[in-house]
Structure 1
Amino acid sequence: MIDSTILIDYFRKTDKNNSRLISHFKNYDSLYISSITEFEVINGSSSPHMEFWNKMLLGFTVLDFDSRAARQATEIVRLLKTKRKSIDKPDLFIAATSVVHGLTLDTTNRKHFIYIDSLNLLAE
């Protein structure tokens, strides 16, 4: 599963062939994003950028933040509180979606996710 940071990195790179996203497309049969990630990348995009994102997002299976993910998110919050840690809601919802689907998450913001024991992060 791909976090918005990977997509935004691809969007910003001049040499797109040298991005982690291209590597993922080469190495994996299927790539996933959360519906929250979809929101993050298209929210506030200009018309030309929307055209880019609409085409880009066709290459992913979008997983909804559903009831199972909501319940997983509450469990993550509970466990983070025992560690005196917190996480922003969008990242929480992305992590919960990844956990309930048994997917490994790739992100450039590992620090946002490292305290979630149930989440598998892609090794750097």
Structure 2
Amino acid sequence: MIESILAFFKALSAFLVSIGIDPSHLFAGLAGAFVRAVVQGKKLTWELISSVIVGALCATYLTPVAVAYFGIAATNGLAFGIGLIGMSIAEGAVKLGHKWAANPKLPKDATPKDLLDLIKQDDKPKD
């Protein structure tokens, strides 16, 4: 029985690697998203299940970007953290997209400071 379970996970890992997904990032993100769902204490709903899936997907695809940008070595810990806050990241990205669609502006440079200044500028009340 255990051998068949191990064979399944080996095959699943091989499939994920073949489509360009690091299985450790996916499972660490899934664990982080699951922890968030448990901490929230909500009943099992489609919203909760989709939140776990979104957290795992954010961890899967954002962990390599964060590792390359920040040079962090603890990738599975980072993937867990991104999975934990993945739904919040996705909600923030959607809100930023809506703000930008209403008033499209581009930053002068593609630096984090210029991007944050652009976001803060949109939050200021208009006279």
TM-score over 0.5 for the alignment?
Answer: no
| Structure with greater proportional helix content | 2
Q: Which has the higher contact order (CA 8 A, sep 6+)?
A: 1
| Structure with greater proportional strand content | 1
Bigger Cα Rg: 2
Give the TM-score of the pair, scaled to structure 1.
0.27
Give the TM-score of the pair, scaled to structure 2.
0.26
